[in-house]
């Protein structure tokens, strides 16, 4: 069965600094990988996804993630943090798209002025 | 605009009572999902439905029940058998069960008094 580990339940960065949120997955078949963002008391919004093809995936709001099969990782990055990026971020995995998404426990991002 | 509507947004329940959370979508999506979110636990799958009149248990189905009589609707009943029902409940849908791009509702927060 697939699983996701997000390293760090809380990450704090200064405004303008690099954002790096870590995600490692376990899957017996090629995975489909996703990052979602959740603002307080709201549902989740899709940031970006990897299914096949190019391993560097660009999403909304300047975020991107790179699929590294050898490291079983799908880390989320953004070159320069903005105050509006403060939210909770979830990594998710599905086996070839044939199974419901399995989510990680989430990483709360704080941005300090 | 198309989307998912969850109601009520906040709900209080006494111990021993059943409660039903509503989820309606006008996206013409075939698949619908219910997730439970607890602090530090991420999202855990309760039930999902790939098509009308069919649904499957997720990882934490005990104490919950669902129905899928219409494509647009996927209500979740939290029964008195659910030992710890206080949580944030999220409904989601996708175009098909092989499309993992989920659209989420805004959630329902259930508190058991």
On whether the CB atoms of residues A106 and A8 are closer than 8 A, the answer is no
**Does residue A1 surpass a pLDDT of 70?**
yes
Cβ-Cβ contacts under 8 Å between A and B: the total is: 57
A67 touches chain B (CB under 8 A): no
Quick one: pLDDT band at residue A13, thresholds 50, 70, 90? very high
pLDDT at residue A40 is higher than 90: no
A7 touches chain B (CB under 8 A): no
CA dist list (Å): B57 to A103, B47, B65, B75: 16, 5, 9, 14
* pLDDT, tens digit only, all 113 positions of chain B: 679 999 999 999 998 899 999 999 999 999 999 999 998 889 999 999 999 999 999 999 999 999 999 999 999 999 988 889 999 999 999 998 787 789 999 999 999 98
- Say yes or no: A43 contacts chain B, CB-CB below 8 A: yes
Which B-chain residues 43-72 have CB contacts (< 8 A) with chain A? 43-45, 48, 58
With 0-12 / 13-18 / 19 or more C-beta atoms within 10 angstroms meaning exposed / middle / buried, residue B113 is exposed
Best CA proximity match to B9, nearest among A43, A39, A37, A44: A43
Structure tokens at A71: 């490291």
What's the distance, CA A108 to chain centroid? 11
Structure tokens at A97: 């798209």
Calculate the CA B62 to chain-centre distance.
13
Interface with A, mutate which of B47, B89, B100 (most A CBs under 10 A):
B100
- pLDDT at residue A97 in the model: 66
Residues of chain A positioned with their CB less than 8 A from the CB of B43: 44, 90, 103
* Structure tokens given for B87: 């949580």
Question: How far lies B106's CA from each of A79, A81, B26, in Å?
Answer: 29, 25, 15
Judged against a pLDDT cut of 90, whether residue A16 lies above it is answered with: yes
Is residue A36 classed as helix, strand or coil in its secondary structure? strand
pLDDT value of position B8:
96
Give contacts of B33 with chain A, Cβ < 8 Å: 100
Q: How far is CA A60 from the centre of its chain?
A: 12
Question: What local confidence, expressed as pLDDT, does residue B40 receive?
Answer: 87
Q: What is the mean pLDDT of residues A45-55?
A: 92
Write the residue in B42, B101, B104 that is nearest to A105 by C-beta. B42
Name chain A contacts of B44, Cβ cutoff 8 Å. 103
């Amino acid at each position: 069965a697939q699983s996701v580990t997000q390293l760090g339940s809380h990450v704090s960065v200064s405004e303008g600094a690099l954002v790096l949120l870590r995600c490692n997955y376990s899957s017996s078949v090629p995975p489909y990988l996703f990052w979602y963002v959740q603002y307080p008391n709201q549902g989740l919004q899709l940031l970006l996804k990897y299914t096949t093809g190019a391993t560097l995936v660009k999403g909304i709001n300047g975020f991107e993630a790179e699929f590294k099969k050898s490291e079983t990782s799908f880390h989320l990055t953004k070159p320069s943090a903005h105050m509006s990026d403060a939210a909770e971020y979830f990594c998710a995995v599905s086996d070839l798209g044939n199974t419901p998404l399995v989510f990680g426990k989430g990483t709360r991002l704080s941005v300090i002025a | 605009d198309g989307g998912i509507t969850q109601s009520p947004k906040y709900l209080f329940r006494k111990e021993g009572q059943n409660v039903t959370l509503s989820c309606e979508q006008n996206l013409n999506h075939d698949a619908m999902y219910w997730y439970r979110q607890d602090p530090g636990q991420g999202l855990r799958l309760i039930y999902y439905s790939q098509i009308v009149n069919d649904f499957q248990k997720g990882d934490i189905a005990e104490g919950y029940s669902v129905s899928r009589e219409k494509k647009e609707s996927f209500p979740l009943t939290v029964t008195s058998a659910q030992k710890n029902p206080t949580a944030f409940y999220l409904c989601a849908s996708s175009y098909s069960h092989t499309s993992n791009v989920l659209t989420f509702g805004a959630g329902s927060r259930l508190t058991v008094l």
